[in-house]
Homo-oligomer: A and B are copies of this chain.
Amino acid sequence: MSTTMRDVARAAGVSVATVSHVVNDKPGARIGDDARRRVHEAVEALGYRPNALAKTLSEGSSRFIGLVADAIATTPFAGQIIHGAQDEAWRHGFVLLVANTEGNDEVENDAIAMMLEHQVRGILYSTWYHREITVPSTLQQSETVLVNCFTADDSFPAVVPDEEQGGRTATAELIAAGHRRIAFVNTTTPSPARDGRRAGYRAALVEAGIAVDEALEFDADPAQEGGYDVAAAVVDSGATGVFCHNDRVAMGLYDGLRERGVRIPEDIAVIGFDNQDVIAAHLRPPLSTVALPHYELGAAGVRTLLGLEAPPVGGRRLIDCPSVPRQSL
C-alpha cells in the first residue's frame, strides 16, 4: 500500500518515534540535526503522507466536525453556511463532514449516527431558514450547536441572524433616503423573520419620530407572486418607500410597479432582505437589500462548538444583518 512511518524510519535509519517527532515538529523533542535531515529526506524521497485516521485513533481525539443541513440543494443559502463553517474549521485544523438530509428524519438520524461513529468533535445542526426546531434525540449524545435555528427552551447553544436589527437597518436606510411614509410588505408565514423584521421596522420608525401606521403593513406570500399581488395596495397606500420581507417579494413588486408605470426609485424606493445574489444584484435597478449573514453563521457556529467563543448566554447568539446598498433607493 502507501508508504508508512515505518518505511520512512527504515529509509532514514532511525526509529518510528524519531520520525513521528520530526514530522510533527514536536516542541520538547531533542532530535539531532543529522537525524532530522535524514528523516526529511526520506519523507521527500518516499512521498510519505501521514495517515490522519491512525493519528486520530492514537491521539484519541478526532479533527472532524459534523454539519447536518436540511437543504443543501434547494437554496443558495446552505452553501454559504457550509462555506463559512468550513473556512473556520480549517483555520483550526478541523475537517467538515457534511450531510444533507432534505428534511428526512430517517436520513437525519443515519447522518448523525455516521458522524458519531466517525468520532466527530461535535455537530453543527443547521436549517436553511431561521426557525424553531426540536433537536433529534440522537444529538443529545454529542456536543451540538444550532445554526440558523433554535429550540423553544434555548437548551442548546444557537447562532441565529438578528432579524430585528436587520429590519431596523432596512427601514433606517429608507428613512435616511428621506422617506417618511414607508410601507412594509411582510411575509404571511409565522416565523422569527416575520416577527423580528416587523419589530425592527417599527423600532426604526419610532426612533425617527415617525408614527407607526398599521395601514402601511401588508402581508404577502414570501415569493415573487406575493410581491406582484401586493403592488396595487402599496401604490394605493401612498408610500414613497417599501421595505420587502425578502428579495423575491421585491422582485415581484418590481413587476407590479412597472405595470403601473411606477418608477423605482423615482416614484417609490424599494429595499429587500436576504441579498440573494442571482436576484438582487441583477434587477433593474439593482436592489438595495440587507444580507442574511449565512457565512458568518457557519463560522460562528464552529467557533462556539470549539469553545473559542463563549457560548451565547441567553442561549442564542445574534449575528448582524448588514446593509447592502444598491440603486433601488
Assuming A50-B117, A98-B86, is B282 touching A251 (CB within 8 A)? yes
* Residue picked from A78, A79, A228, most chain B C-beta under 10 Å: A79
A60 interfacial by beta-carbon distance below 8 Å: yes
- List of B residues within 8 angstroms of A98 by Cβ: 82, 86, 96, 98
A80 interfacial by beta-carbon distance below 8 Å: yes
**CA distance in complex: A39, B117 (Å):** 19
**CA distance in complex: A228, B282 (Å):** 11
Nearest Cβ on chain B to A40's Cβ, whole angstroms: 17
Which of B118, B223, B282 is in CB contact (< 8 Å) with A248? Answer: B282
Assuming A79-B79, A86-B100, A276-B278, is B117 touching A49 (CB within 8 A)? yes
- List of B residues within 8 angstroms of A284 by Cβ: 224, 228, 255
User: Cβ of A86 and Cβ of B99 under 8 Å apart?
Assistant: yes
Number of A positions contacting B (CB below 8 A): 57
**CA distance in complex: A96, B117 (Å):** 14
Which of B1, B72, B248 is in CB contact (< 8 Å) with A278? Answer: B248
Nearest Cβ on chain B to A327's Cβ, whole angstroms: 13
User: Cβ of A83 and Cβ of B79 under 8 Å apart?
Assistant: no
**CA distance in complex: A70, B277 (Å):** 17
A295 interfacial by beta-carbon distance below 8 Å: yes
The 8 A CB mask of A86-125 against B (1 = contact, 0 = none) is 1100100001111110100000001001101111000000
Assuming A53-B119, A117-B49, is B282 touching A225 (CB within 8 A)? yes
Within 8 A of B (CB), among A262-313: 276-279, 282-284, 295
* Residue picked from A223, A255, A258, most chain B C-beta under 10 Å: A255
A29 interfacial by beta-carbon distance below 8 Å: no
User: For chain A, what secondary structure do more than half of its interface residues adopt (helix, strand, loop), or is it mixed?
Assistant: helix
User: Cβ of A119 and Cβ of B279 under 8 Å apart?
Assistant: no
A215 interfacial by beta-carbon distance below 8 Å: no
Within 8 A of B (CB), among A169-187: none
A252 interfacial by beta-carbon distance below 8 Å: yes
- List of B residues within 8 angstroms of A45 by Cβ: none
- List of B residues within 8 angstroms of A118 by Cβ: 52-53, 95
A73 interfacial by beta-carbon distance below 8 Å: yes
The 8 A CB mask of A241-261 against B (1 = contact, 0 = none) is 000000010011001001000
Within 8 A of B (CB), among A59-84: 60, 62, 72-76, 78-80, 82-83
Nearest Cβ on chain B to A103's Cβ, whole angstroms: 12
- List of B residues within 8 angstroms of A60 by Cβ: 1
**CA distance in complex: A80, B73 (Å):** 5
Seed contacts A72-B79, A251-B282; 13 additional CB < 8 Å A-B pairs: A49-B113, A51-B57, A53-B57, A73-B83, A82-B100, A86-B98, A86-B100, A95-B97, A95-B118, A225-B282, A228-B284, A258-B258, A276-B278
Q: Please list 20 pairs of residues, one from A and one from B, whose beta carbons are closer than 8 Å in the complex, sorted by A's number.
A: A47-B141, A51-B117, A53-B53, A53-B57, A53-B118, A53-B119, A54-B57, A73-B79, A74-B79, A75-B76, A75-B79, A79-B79, A82-B100, A83-B102, A86-B99, A90-B110, A223-B282, A224-B284, A248-B282, A251-B282
